[in-house]
Amino acid sequence: MNVKTITSPSAMTRFVKKARAKGKTVGFVPTMGYLHDGHMALVRNAKRENDIVVMSIFVNPAQFGPKEDYAKYPRDFKKDSRLAKKEGVDVIFYPAVKSMYLPNHSTYVTVEKLTTNLCGRSRPGHFKGVATVVTKLFNIVPADTSYFGQKDAQQAFIISRMARDLNIPMKIKVVPTVREEDGLAMSSRNVYLDGNERREAAALFKSLSLAKKLISEGERNSKKIIRAIKDFTTKNSSAKIDYVSIIDTDELKDIKTLKGRILIAIAAYFGKTRLIDNMILEV
Amino acid sequence: MNVKTITSPSAMTRFVKKARAKGKTVGFVPTMGYLHDGHMALVRNAKRENDIVVMSIFVNPAQFGPKEDYAKYPRDFKKDSRLAKKEGVDVIFYPAVKSMYLPNHSTYVTVEKLTTNLCGRSRPGHFKGVATVVTKLFNIVPADTSYFGQKDAQQAFIISRMARDLNIPMKIKVVPTVREEDGLAMSSRNVYLDGNERREAAALFKSLSLAKKLISEGERNSKKIIRAIKDFTTKNSSAKIDYVSIIDTDELKDIKTLKGRILIAIAAYFGKTRLIDNMILEV
């Protein structure tokens, strides 16, 4: 038996409204599919806190740049459905692109300020696509709570800010990153890595762990920590670094001296595959 | 007795959800206050079609340009409350600016394509402010149906498109323009007009009526009709024309030859007061 799958946005909304009218709580896990244990951690949180769990699987073209990997982004709906079933997902929302973006689609949601740094700098338009599709999904799946991964830290900040700013009636929960044994953050894009790239990709988490150690030893100079992260990564892998940033967790702006709640974020290419990772620390 | 007034967004949402959970239908009339009979026509439509009518009164700073009339936009809450009461409004949502735009507000909704022509050209940023506040209001007042006036034709198109594109679970109804005896479209801004400007302002509707007559006589050339509207307006008033446009009602693009459902729109200054009017015709 497969998980109940709904492809029509209006049918999806009716399902959730009916459940909530009966007094059931609904948790929502939006994904682009190709599920891994990071997604499953979101589902487990949603299961624990809700009567019903809805997962969406939609590779959203609006969040990919023209030169990015939309066409080849990995997809395996059958496997996803099996994994979702095993974890206790009640319904999968699996819409076609043409039912999400109608002819002459013209409306976009932008989150200013928070989108200019980090991945927003490397991927112009990416977060506009994310904010737009998430607003749509929140209207289609009017759940009590939705679940996002800490791995996509900037996305989590942006969606939380967006939900607040637009008065979206949904709680947003951010769930810790799930990692492979060597520390590599789980990501659907890890499947792109060849054997050597896969081994080297562990350098990302190890460089963040090094930064944590330096900070615990008293280092507060942002530049020095960034330098150490970059040096470690390039010495221990052939990665091409996109960015290493240390920012505050309110406005996501670069900071010079570490203080309060900070985010250390890294993005790097292993071959053609761009991976990201991050760590939040209280200094 | 005054109309029940709610200022807190979250209390407003609870009120609407409670009413709908009891099976009541809710109609929503968003306004900037300084109510006139055009607003009352929206309320009458909402009353006829719903059990409960919520009206919002909020002069939205985000939709005024830096040189526009936000500060002096007319406000009279006591009178508005009395008029709303008389017409049977059940609740007024009357939030403070600081409870609608929290510190570090960063999120905006934009409707592309439809906002580049007409008032979008003369008032850059205006429709971004409108789309953003209406998205917020739709989340705060999750009604069954909301009501907008045909007088703000471009706004009505934009909000309908936005609701479709973002899967907003709300019906949007557009109600015909209410006019003074001489044809002037009712508007809160009419209060700015002095005696002479007020008399001359009737030229707007009369010029549109002339266009209608020309079209009924067989004229299909957009340029000629626009020329006739401009000539009539400038001969019969001292107005400074901002734009006269004839556009299709799908993409709001200028058309050369009239065909199908078209919109004729005019904006002009009478003294310092900018007024707009429009007519939709099936050709």
Residues B80-130 pLDDT 10s? 999 999 999 999 999 999 999 999 999 999 999 898 899 999 999 999 999
Chain B residues inside the 8 Å CB shell of A104 = 113, 161, 250-251
Question: pLDDT per residue over B223-237, tens digit each?
Answer: 999 999 999 999 999
Distance of residue A159 Cα from the nearest chain B Cα, in angstroms: 10
Nearest residue of chain A to residue B18 (CA atoms): A21
d(Cα B258, Cα B38) in Å, to the nearest integer? Answer: 29
* Sign of the alpha-carbon torsion through B59, B62, B68, B71: positive
**Inter-axis angle of helices A9-21 and A126-140, to 10 degrees?**
50
Task: Check if the beta carbon of residue B73 is closer than 8 Å to that of residue B79.
Answer: no
Angstrom distance (rounded) from CA B211 to CA A150: 60
Cross-chain residue pair B140–A164, CB shorter than 8 Å? no
In whole angstroms, what is the distance from residue B160 CA to residue B153 CA? 11
Map residue A104 onto helix, strand or coil: coil
Distance CA B81, CA B280 (A): 32
CB-based contact A16:A51 (threshold 8 Å): no
Residue A165 C-alpha, separation from nearest chain B C-alpha, in angstroms: 6
Evaluate whether the domain defined by B190-282 bears CATH number 3.30.1300.10: yes
* Fold observed for domain B4-175: Rossmann fold (3.40.50)
Sequence-separated (6 or more) residues with CB below 8 Å from residue B41: B149, B175, B176, B178
Is the predicted pLDDT of residue B1 greater than 90, yes or no? no
How long, in residues, is chain A? Answer: 283
Q: How far is C-alpha A120 from the geometric centre of its chain's CA atoms?
A: 13
The more confident residue out of B117 and B26 is B26
Nearest chain B residue (CA) to A162: B107
Distance CA A92, CA A3 (A): 7
Q: How many beta-carbon contacts under 8 Å exist across A and B?
A: 87
- From CA A170, how far away is CA A147, in angstroms rounded? 10
**What is the pLDDT confidence band of residue A2, given thresholds at 50, 70 and 90?**
confident
Q: Which residues of A are catalytic?
A: 39
**Cα–chain center distance at B103:** 28
Q: Which residue of B has its CA nearest to A10?
A: B167
Report pLDDT digits (tens) over A73-82.
Answer: 999 999 999 9
> Kind and range of the H or E element at A65?
none
DSSP state of A214: H
Give chain B's mean pLDDT: 96
What are the chain A neighbours of B164 within 8 Å (beta carbons)?
102
pTM of the model: 0.95
Q: What is the pLDDT of residues B128-145, one digit of tens each?
A: 999 999 999 999 999 999
Lowest mean pLDDT among A113-122, B15-24, B135-144: A113-122
Is A113–B102 a contact, with Cβ atoms under 8 angstroms apart? Answer: no
Nearest chain B CA: its distance from A102 CA (Å): 7
Query: Which residues from B are below 8 Å from A139, CB to CB?
Result: 166-169
Domain ranges of chain B: 4-175, 190-282
- The alpha carbon of residue A141 is apart from the nearest alpha carbon of chain B, in Å, by 10
Q: Decide if A165 and B105 are in contact by the 8 Å CB cutoff.
A: yes
Instruction: pLDDT band for A36, please (50, 70, 90 cuts).
Output: very high
Residue A1: what pLDDT? 66
**B222-236 and B202-216 are packed helices; what angle lies between their axes, rounded to 10 degrees?**
150
Percent of chain A that is helix, strand, coil (3-state, to 5): 40, 25, 35
Give the catalytic positions of B in this structure.
Answer: 39
Cβ distance B166 to A13 less than 8 Å, yes or no, reads no
Tally DSSP H helices, then E strands, for chain B. Answer: 10, 10
φ/ψ region of A136 (left if φ > 0, alpha if ψ in -120 to 50, else beta) reads alpha
A148, A121 Cβ separation under 8 angstroms: no
- Three-class SS of residue B18? helix
| Measured distance CA(A210)–CA(A150) in Å, rounded | 19
CB within 8 Å: B107 and A110? yes
Q: Supply the Cα-derived Rg of chain A in whole angstroms.
A: 19
Cα–Cα dist B142/B26, whole Å: 8
